[in-house]
């Protein structure tokens, strides 16, 4: 699936595509709101969820890697390098 195809889907079909094809690759946020990052084929989808009101607040598909920056701080580069060197 391509990003433009995902963007053309209705809301329910987007969730189905995430369920069937998406892989969780990150999470960020605070107590009230959390953002979950999924990789779907060659692009990413960020879901924003407000746990206080139990409601989805955003669904943001993108392929611009600059938008991954908030998630990159979660990656433990030292552990990654150690695993590669084994």
* Domain ranges (residues) in the chain: 3-85
Which pLDDT tens digits describe the chain residue by residue (86 residues)?
999 999 999 999 999 999 999 999 889 988 899 999 999 998 999 999 999 999 999 999 999 988 988 888 776 666 656 666 76
Task: Look at residue 29 in the predicted model and tell me its pLDDT.
Answer: 87
CA–CA dist 9, 16 (Å, integer): 10
3-state percent helix, strand, coil for the chain, nearest multiple of 5: 40, 35, 25
Cβ burial of 44 (10 Å; 0-12, 13-18, 19+) is: buried
- Token pair for 82: 């150690």
- Record the pTM: 0.81
DSSP 44-56: EEEEEEETTTTEE
């Amino acid at each position: 699936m391509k990003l433009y195809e995902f963007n053309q889907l209705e809301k329910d079909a987007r969730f189905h595509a995430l369920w069937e094809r998406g892989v969780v690759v990150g999470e960020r946020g605070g107590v009230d709101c959390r953002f979950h990052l999924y990789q779907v084929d060659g692009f990413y989808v960020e879901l924003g969820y407000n746990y206080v009101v139990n409601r989805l607040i955003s669904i943001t598909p993108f392929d611009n890697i600059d938008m991954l920056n908030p998630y990159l701080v979660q990656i433990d580069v030292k552990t990654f390098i150690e695993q590669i060197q084994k």
